[in-house]
Amino acid sequence: MSIASLDPEIIMNPETRVFPEFSLEKLLSTVFEPTEGCRVCILIDLEDMDLMEGYGFLDADGHEVQKKAYEEFYLGLKDGGLTKLEMTGGDMFAFPMTYGSNLDLSDECYDVEGRKLSLDEDIYPEYDLILCISTYSATAPLTAKAKEFGFRGATMHGLNDVILNSGLAVDYEAVSADAEKLRLALTNADSIEIDFALEDGRVLTAWLGLDGQDAQKSHGLCRGHNPDIANLPAGEVYFVPVDARGQFPMKYEDGTLGVLDVENRNIIKSTLIEGNQATIDAHNARLADDPMTGTLGELGFGTQVLPVSGADIQDEKVLGTCHLATGRDDHLGGDIVPDMFKRHENSTHDDILFAPHKTPNFNISQVRMKRGKQEEIIIENFRPAQYLLDALLGDR
């Protein structure tokens, strides 16, 4: 169901949307058409690799993402999914947890018998489709490996019930079509300005230079024979900034709020608004030690009408939200690669999501696009502005 077919009230209030029942066969057949003859496997990440033997993680505390991968994807394939989709395989393997978003994976992995295998030698060359359902995103490293070994796949980190029953239950034909409408509305933008209204009355403005580049889309379809990785749930339009300046607020994991100063596309310092000064000091020390950790590598806008899931992988896809990301962006066509970082553990791609549930301490009062002589308001108060709505609903 496309956004144009939804009631306007639902578009502005995504929590009220009713979704069809999740279907593994529909998801895989839509995303990967065709699937006939494909050999498929599932990758999960574990802290304790001994728990892969005999699927020991199923009886261990925690491991909610891994258990969901087993219950919905592994069993779904084994209990008829493979036959319906005319695929083979369905095996599950585990690799060591990376503890960072989009960090390169180590080569070792383990099968259900506890045998140590090699991703490069035993997995990537042997499977046509690889589904990675993990704690931390592996989109960047798997995109590189897909191009090297020729497979297709999908990453679904942070999988939970809300994502399963909404972001993965949608029709990705419609998601792709809606993403394309918004991509065309934003593509070739020269710059984007974002105003952040703080509780103390200040308004911070971040300016991002885009140099008229073609906008890209994460739309969920990964078809044909070209090696590629779909990041699911999908539904965003994104750019790789070539320049940035100004300020934007940051809410850290411990709740501390800071103001980030940006020059020449790089975050240069953080200043405390409220919370823990030690958190700010730690960030500033990291920026001083490895400046690439503060380089802005992505600007993204959500294109879907979805409920809040509590996981950024879905919540950044919600229409009316936007996000920035620091770090590597080679998987997005950018120029920031892992070798540019002082330390391997710093070569992450970290999203900074601005959404009402995520950052209630400040509001995105307005987002503006400039494209030649054209200037458009595209978001106001975490809601799509009329320009975006017209682009989505124009075929009604």
Helix (H, G, I), strand (E, B) or coil at 37: coil
Q: Percent helix, strand, coil in the chain (nearest 5)?
A: 30, 30, 35
Classify the C-alpha dihedral 288-328-198-264 as positive or negative.
positive
pLDDT by residue for the chain (396 residues), tens only, comes to 899 889 988 988 899 999 999 999 999 999 999 899 999 999 999 999 999 999 999 999 999 999 999 999 999 999 999 999 999 999 999 999 999 999 999 999 999 999 999 999 999 999 999 999 999 999 999 999 999 999 999 999 999 999 999 999 999 999 999 999 999 999 999 999 999 999 999 999 999 999 999 999 999 999 988 999 999 999 999 999 999 999 999 999 999 999 999 999 999 999 999 999 999 999 999 999 999 999 999 999 999 999 999 999 999 999 999 999 999 999 998 999 999 999 889 999 999 999 999 999 999 999 999 999 999 999 999 999 999 999 998 754
Measure the CA–CA gap between 78 and 72, rounded to whole angstroms. 10
Measure the CA–CA gap between 328 and 140, rounded to whole angstroms. 8
Residue 38 tokens read as 């494909």
Q: Are 193 and 368 in contact (CB under 8 A)?
A: yes
- 129-132 vs 374-380, strand pairing mode: unpaired
pTM over 0.85: yes
Q: Are 332 and 297 in contact (CB under 8 A)?
A: yes
Nearest to 179 by CA among 336, 388, 395: 388
Q: Are 317 and 233 in contact (CB under 8 A)?
A: yes
- What is the DSSP annotation of 252-306? -TTS-EEEEEEETTEEEEEEEEES-HHHHHHHHHHHHH-GGGGBEEEEEEE-B--
> Does residue 14 have a cis bond before it (omega within 30 degrees)?
no
> What is the DSSP secondary structure assignment for residue 356, as one 8-state letter?
T
